[in-house]
Chains A and B, each alone.
Chain A
Amino acid sequence: RKEVEQDPGPFNVPEGATVAFNCTYSNSASQSFFWYRQDCRKEPKLLMSVYSSGNEDGRFTAQLNRASQYISLLIRDSKLSDSATYLCAVGGAAGNKLTFGGGTRVLVKP
């Protein structure tokens, strides 16, 4: 079993709709969680950190479920520019490595 797993998609989303997807992790001792966005042929860029109580950044909401060992990302009012691959990243305490999932591809269509 991979340490961090994601549904590769693609998730085809009508513009303006809401889309949500999860990322599961196997190490129950994980302490840090992130969502990165990667555009085609570009480097991953931090979208948002994921906090225990859940957090929101504009149209993006991230949640952490420690009991079931997954994090989620919800995108509201999808824009064409949200089309990208979303990578989750999971790490231990500060100073430890960060392991990435395979990414979930999202395609927002008019």
Chain B
Amino acid sequence: DAGVIQSPRHEVTEMGQEVTLRCKPISGHNSLFWYRQTMMRGLELLIYFNNNVPIDDSGMPEDRFSAKMPNASFSTLKIQPSEPRDSAVYFCASRLTDSGANVLTFGAGSRLTVL
């Protein structure tokens, strides 16, 4: 199993530019989560999907952030326009949600620097 795959691993961009982060969950997993991690705020949940449907997006900072999951094997997190305060590591995680399991598996993360 290749695990959760995220791209790009690193991105440096300038303020105002659009950023698109990508995630491929583990095959067969039916829930997908986007988290953001900074030193100041720790690991924050931005949004999560169950069966490709967004369930809770209350953690999305503002309208500049959007996430989609067009199918079970792909999700994107888009920031437009980006700002320096968006600099963070963005993690995607997936799980097989059934009656008992609640364990998340994380991707390696996308480290974003906005200048």
Contact = CB atoms under 8 A, between A and B. Distances in A.
Contacts of B45: 97-100
A43 B97 contact: no
B33 to A, nearest CB: 7
Point out which of A94, A99, A102 has the most chain B C-beta atoms below 10 A from its C-beta.
A94
B100 A94 contact: yes
B43 A43 contact: no
Interface string A14-44: 0000000000000000001010000000111
A97 B50 CA distance: 10
A34 B43 CA distance: 14
Given A43-B107, A43-B109, A102 B31 contact: no
B11 interface: no
A95 B31 contact: yes
Contacts of A89: 104
Contacts of A32: 102
Interface in B41-79: 42-43, 45, 48, 50, 55-56
Contacts of A100: 35, 42-43, 45
Interface in A42-60: 42-46, 49
